[in-house]
């Protein structure tokens, strides 16, 4: 079955992050409109720069979620606004310290065998 293309398809990326990668792919490859929600203001600024640099300001709308964590859609979607799908790509970290701890653990695991062991 053929993937629908064009701006009549509207998606939402919850927690888009600084790279805004999935909305950028959706806009670039399929011409979809995307709502990219994010709570981190530094990530929002980066995402907006990426959207503008890729010429997708008409297709990707980066929105700040300022409400509590349990309000995923509230405050992001307008009452009459509809979307065809929602997506999210965890993991999400509660703090920079938590991210760094997990990243260090993964790096230690790679150093013990990682790349070379995988391809022996």
The tens digit of pLDDT for each residue in 68-78 reads: 777 888 889 98
Distances (CA, A) of 84 to 10, 58, 104, 115: 5, 18, 38, 39
Neighbours of 75 (CB within 10 A): 14
- Return the percentage of the chain with pLDDT > 90, whole number: 59
Neighbours of 80 (CB within 10 A): 5
The encoded tokens of residue 32 equal: 């979809």
Summarize pLDDT for 11-37 with one digit per residue, the tens. Answer: 999 999 899 999 999 999 999 999 999
Tell me the whole-structure pTM to 2 decimals: 0.76
88 pairs with which residues across the strands? 14
């Amino acid at each position: 079955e053929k993937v629908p293309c064009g701006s009549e398809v509207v998606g939402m990326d919850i927690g888009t992050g600084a790279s805004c990668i999935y909305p950028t792919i959706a806009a670039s490859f399929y011409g979809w409109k995307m709502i990219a929600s994010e709570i981190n203001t530094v990530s929002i600024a980066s995402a907006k720069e990426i959207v503008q640099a890729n010429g997708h300001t008409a297709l990707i709308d980066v929105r700040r979620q300022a409400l509590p964590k349990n309000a995923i859609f509230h405050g992001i979607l307008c009452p009459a606004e509809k979307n065809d799908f929602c997506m999210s790509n965890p993991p999400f970290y509660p703090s920079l310290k938590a991210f760094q701890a997990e990243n260090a653990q993964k790096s230690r695991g790679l150093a013990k065998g990682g790349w070379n062991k995988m391809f022996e």
